[in-house]
Amino acid sequence: MPTRSILAGIGAYLPARIVSNDELARTVDTTDAWIRERTGITQRHFAAKHETAAFMGAEAARAALADAGALPSDVDGIILATSTPDQAFPATAVRVQAALGVTKGFGFDIAAACAGFIYALSVADAMIRSGQARGVLVIGSEVYSRILNWEDRGTCVLFGDGAGAVFLTAGEGSGTDQGILSTHIHAQGTLGDILYVDGAVGQPDKPGHLVMHGREVFRHAVTRLAEAVEEALTANNLTAADIDWLVPHQANRRIIDAMGRKLGLPAERVVVTVEQHANTSAASVPLALHEAWKDGRIKRGELVLLEALGGGLVWGSALVRM
Ligand code: UT7
């Protein structure tokens, strides 16, 4: 039996401050009805000053280790997906390492926008399967509230802050197919201008705000994610009927519903958190996974399909036997 990456524990962190659509509508030219109807979102969490990507990532990671019954000394490496790092460098992952009291191994960030967690999972899985590490924290942590353009109602109502984490451990010889069965990641850089941040620390004078051509992204999301789902099933000789749970990126209820229909899954088998969290980019998939894990919906032995798409365009899937 080859080495597999087992999802030994899952954790999450959400800022205490909850902002409803109605509260946003007091300062933004929008309505609760428009946001609900077009996206499914009813509220989002916004970070306080101290709730940076590193702070929230460390909290989620702590919770994932506790869920796994693991200690900081079990961590061989930390891979953190974010588009809103605390600093250009050092990587947010090493800030998390210090906060957790982890004293060995590696730490680095991955910038793959809303697909960041899937990318990070893919890299961590490859490292575990190749024997480079036996315990890896994979974290998605984002503070999009800091990069939103409050003058652009087409984007500022869509995002929220938060962090999610999984602790992956090497498992072998169990005789079962538990663990990450496959990951597939993709990029199409020619579509880099339909969803981006118009600045960075390397730019002369601007930190940058999020810009999105929503309709175009929507169109590509539906097509690419459907392809990604198909790719994951084909690679594992499975059919949609084998999937127990879909845990999709939480950008828009309409996209999520379309993916559920594509898989022929009843609505209650699709994990949806976009109502409460809005779009938390790289944190959205682990936050949703955590929600359904914590409340007992997702159980050991079940087959879970994760998928996400984001600015790049970048997208991908991970198929996991819990
Ligand atoms: O996480 C990365 C991946 N991201 C996504 O997958 C997002 C994909 N895109 C979407 O989810 C949707 O395209 C949006 C939710 C962003 C927008 O929904 P839409 O149905 O595509 O609306 P639209 O942008 O075509 O705008 C429709 C109308 C426009 O008015 P007119 O031109 O028809 O008069 C907008 O000005 O809605 C207007 N509008 C708003 N009205 C009230 C746009 N934003 C708002 C708003 N409140 N916040």
Question: Residue 235: which CATH number?
Answer: 3.40.47.10
From the list 171, 153, 252, 163, the residue with the least C-alpha distance to 210 is 153
Is 156:289 a contact under the CB 8 Å cutoff?
A: no
Instruction: Mark whether 111 and 245 lie in a shared domain.
Output: no
The pLDDT value recorded for residue 175 is 58
Which pLDDT belongs to residue 2?
77
Same domain, 113 and 237: no
Question: Do residue 14 and residue 92 come from a single domain?
Answer: yes
Are 9 and 124 members of one domain? Answer: yes
**pLDDT at 202 (0 to 100):** 79
Q: Which of 21, 114, 209, 252 is catalytic?
A: 114
Q: Whose CA is nearest to atom 41 of ligand 1?
A: 30
User: Quick one: 24 and 141 in the same domain?
Assistant: yes
CA 108 – ligand 1 centroid, Å: 34
- Among 137, 172, 207, give the residue marking a domain's end: 172
Token digits of residue 137? 């924290």
183, two tokens: 């990951």
* Annotated active-site residue in 45, 209, 249, 277: 249
Shared domain for 98 and 162, answered yes or no, is yes
Give yes or no for a contact between 279 and 265, defined as CB atoms under 8 angstroms apart. no
- Report CA torsion sign: 259, 265, 270, 275: positive
Q: Are residues 81 and 168 in the same domain?
A: yes
Nearest residue (CA) to ligand 1, atom 8: 218
Closest CA to 321 of 297, 299, 304: 304
Query: How many Å is the maximal CA-CA distance in the chain?
Result: 58
Asked whether residue 155 falls in the same domain as residue 78, the answer is yes
pLDDT attached to residue 203: 83
Q: Kindly report the protein residue whose alpha carbon is nearest to atom 38 of ligand 1.
A: 154
Whether residues 165 and 196 share a domain: the answer is no
Pocket test for ligand 1, best of 29, 152, 159, 218 (most atoms within 8 A of CB): 218
Choosing from 115, 149, 172, the residue where a domain stops is: 172
Q: Which of 172, 191, 211 is the last residue of a domain?
A: 172
- What is the rounded CA–CA span in Å between residue 162 and residue 33? 24
The catalytic position among 156, 277, 279, 290 is 279
Asked if 157 and 228 sit in the same domain, the reply is no
CA 254 to ligand 1: nearest atom? 11
Atom 23 (ligand 1) nearest CA = 215
Site to probe by mutation for ligand 1, drawn from 27, 35, 38, 256 as the one with most ligand atoms within 8 Å of Cβ, is 38
Q: Which pLDDT does position 262 carry in this prediction?
A: 86
**What is the total count of domains within the chain?**
2
Q: How far is the CA of 199 from the centre of ligand 1 (A)?
A: 23
The predicted structure's pLDDT at residue 207: 77
Relative to beta strand 77-81, strand 135-143 is: parallel
Residues with a CB atom less than 6 Å from ligand 1 = 30, 34, 38-39, 114, 153-154, 157-158, 214-215, 217-218, 221, 251-252, 255, 279, 309-310
- Going from the Cα of 83 to the center of ligand 1, the distance in angstroms, rounded, reads 22
Q: Is residue 277 flagged as an active site residue? A: no
97 and 211 in a single domain? The answer is: no
Residues 243 and 286 in one domain: yes
Instruction: Assess whether 45 carries a catalytic annotation.
Output: no
User: In tens digits, what is the pLDDT along the chain, a chain of 322 residues?
Assistant: 679 999 999 999 999 999 999 999 999 999 999 999 999 999 999 999 999 999 999 999 999 999 999 999 999 999 999 999 999 999 999 999 999 999 999 999 999 999 999 999 999 999 999 999 999 999 999 999 999 999 999 999 999 999 999 999 999 755 568 999 999 999 999 999 999 999 988 787 787 999 999 999 999 999 999 999 999 999 999 999 999 999 999 999 999 999 989 888 899 999 999 999 999 999 999 999 999 999 999 999 999 999 999 999 999 999 999 9
Domain range spanning residue 226?
179-321
